[in-house]
Homo-oligomer: A and B are copies of this chain.
């Protein structure tokens, strides 16, 4: 007997039904926004990450040499792939380009709750617009997708910032500050004590007074105060862009879910403008569920024409935890409209009824295993059949069928030529 690999999951039908409902909700919402589905490869050249990405993601790659000597990797995220696809057809594609897809990705990391080595994301991106409306449309899609899942503003919030605010404020200090280190310290600050946090800022180049002042400014989150403190074009532009995105989000119905949070920095290096993370407010400790933001330089970095871009990628593992805590995760159970039960040699008639009901779009099972009456009824129960149509030899001799309501156990006899008849979805109640 073989076992599955650590960090890889099997999804049996009940759980898969709930996942499919969730994926459908996210994708249907994306389709309404005019995002178009794309299909992308599981393998790419490893250089797409080893050339440019941070060390963390490179260490986690499932990379290997294929039989043709190519250095390839299972893709750990989608962004470099869509960037490659945009570059490959940049002349033909009409802009803005709005794409989505749902698929697995792979990273060799520590397995824990909500984090497997194979994980599913729905990626939603806009290429070719630098306008705040594009950022706001991504936020609006994310908010709409989550509320369509049954979540409300009580369950989640989007913490939003702009990459240039922290960087711009840090560069105003009369000190040699390692901006990346300082931003990483901010990113981790909610998991640290104040002293530890300030120590990290000092390691990055600030002195302790500056660290305390910087901490206050960032924690305060007052955009006008930040602008006044820095008095640089970079910070002013960043603040105004963030404000413009929030104004557009107001028009698009997503502003109410957004909180300005200058601590929000995002781990990946390619972000350039507005960044945001979705936090789960249902637990005692609020947790990041997913994130997104603007990455205007990536397409050019991949050899394309300068093409601004913004996107988000909800992960389905953390999203299902959020939905479960909020009590809106779909029931993990099978549903079946009809089970057509055969007693004796009634296959021909049972098949006719089964086919007719299936042609009308219903979920219908019938016996394919030569089972007894009791075994068929148990099976019908196990798949949560709503109605059982009993096709018995004796009944058929009288041109009758028996229709059984599985919830109440009630049953009644019905003339064969009246079932299913003209009714689209006949049940026991129609004949009672």
- Which A residues lie at the B interface, using CB under 8 A? 1-6, 8-13, 16-17, 19-20, 28, 31-34, 36-45, 47-48, 62, 64-68, 70, 72, 74, 80-81, 84-85, 87-89, 93-96, 98-99, 104, 106, 108, 118, 126, 128-129, 131, 133-134, 136-137, 144, 248, 251-253, 302-304, 334, 336, 347-348, 351, 355, 358, 361-365, 367-370, 378-379, 382-383
- A sample of 22 inter-chain contacts (CB < 8 A) reads A2-B45, A2-B84, A3-B84, A4-B44, A4-B88, A5-B45, A5-B70, A10-B39, A12-B89, A13-B99, A16-B36, A16-B39, A17-B36, A34-B383, A43-B62, A43-B74, A64-B64, A126-B368, A128-B369, A129-B368, A131-B370, A252-B351
Rounded to whole angstroms, the CA-CA distance of A354 and B41 in the bound complex is 33
Are B47 and A2 in touch, CB under 8 angstroms? yes
Q: A99: which B residues are within 8 A, CB to CB?
A: 13
Are A41 and B5 in touch, CB under 8 angstroms? yes
Are B13 and A38 in touch, CB under 8 angstroms? yes
Question: How distant is A75 from chain B, measured CB to nearest CB, in Å?
Answer: 10
Known contacts A368-B126, A370-B131: A355-B42 contact under CB 8 Å = no
* Residue among B8, B129, B253 making CB contact with A369, cutoff 8 Å: B129
Are A19 and B45 in touch, CB under 8 angstroms? no
Known contacts A40-B11, A369-B129: A358-B32 contact under CB 8 Å = yes
Q: Please give me the residue from chain B that is nearest to A12 by CB atom.
A: B38
Known: A10-B40, A42-B74, A42-B104. 7 other contacts (CB 8 A): A4-B88, A5-B44, A10-B41, A62-B64, A95-B379, A133-B368, A253-B351
Q: Which of A10, A99, A129, A348 is packed against the most chain B CB atoms within 10 Å?
A: A10
Are A10 and B118 in touch, CB under 8 angstroms? no
Are A355 and B252 in touch, CB under 8 angstroms? yes
Rounded to whole angstroms, the CA-CA distance of A70 and B62 in the bound complex is 12
Q: Please give me the residue from chain B that is nearest to A80 by CB atom.
A: B2
* Residue among B34, B48, B108 making CB contact with A66, cutoff 8 Å: B108
Are A251 and B348 in touch, CB under 8 angstroms? yes
Rounded to whole angstroms, the CA-CA distance of A45 and B5 in the bound complex is 7
Are B368 and A12 in touch, CB under 8 angstroms? no
Are A34 and B364 in touch, CB under 8 angstroms? yes
Q: A363: which B residues are within 8 A, CB to CB?
A: 31-32, 34
Are A98 and B41 in touch, CB under 8 angstroms? no
Are A4 and B383 in touch, CB under 8 angstroms? no
A-B pairs with lowest CB-CB distance, top 7:
A11-B39, A1-B303, A13-B36, A64-B64, A34-B365, A129-B369, A8-B41
Q: Please give me the residue from chain B that is nearest to A64 by CB atom.
A: B64
Rounded to whole angstroms, the CA-CA distance of A70 and B68 in the bound complex is 22
Question: How distant is A14 from chain B, measured CB to nearest CB, in Å?
Answer: 8
Q: Please give me the residue from chain B that is nearest to A116 by CB atom.
A: B41
Are A43 and B253 in touch, CB under 8 angstroms? no
Q: Please give me the residue from chain B that is nearest to A385 by CB atom.
A: B34
Are B94 and A383 in touch, CB under 8 angstroms? yes
Known contacts A16-B38, A334-B36: A133-B45 contact under CB 8 Å = no
Are B95 and A369 in touch, CB under 8 angstroms? yes
Q: Which of A64, A85, A98, A303 is packed against the most chain B CB atoms within 10 Å?
A: A64
Question: How distant is A110 from chain B, measured CB to nearest CB, in Å?
Answer: 11
Known contacts A8-B43, A334-B36: A87-B13 contact under CB 8 Å = no
Are B368 and A134 in touch, CB under 8 angstroms? yes
Are A11 and B33 in touch, CB under 8 angstroms? no
Rounded to whole angstroms, the CA-CA distance of A363 and B6 in the bound complex is 40
Known contacts A1-B304, A351-B251: A16-B37 contact under CB 8 Å = yes
Rounded to whole angstroms, the CA-CA distance of A302 and B129 in the bound complex is 53
Rounded to whole angstroms, the CA-CA distance of A80 and B93 in the bound complex is 41
Question: How distant is A13 from chain B, measured CB to nearest CB, in Å?
Answer: 3
Q: Please give me the residue from chain B that is nearest to A95 by CB atom.
A: B369
Are A379 and B37 in touch, CB under 8 angstroms? no
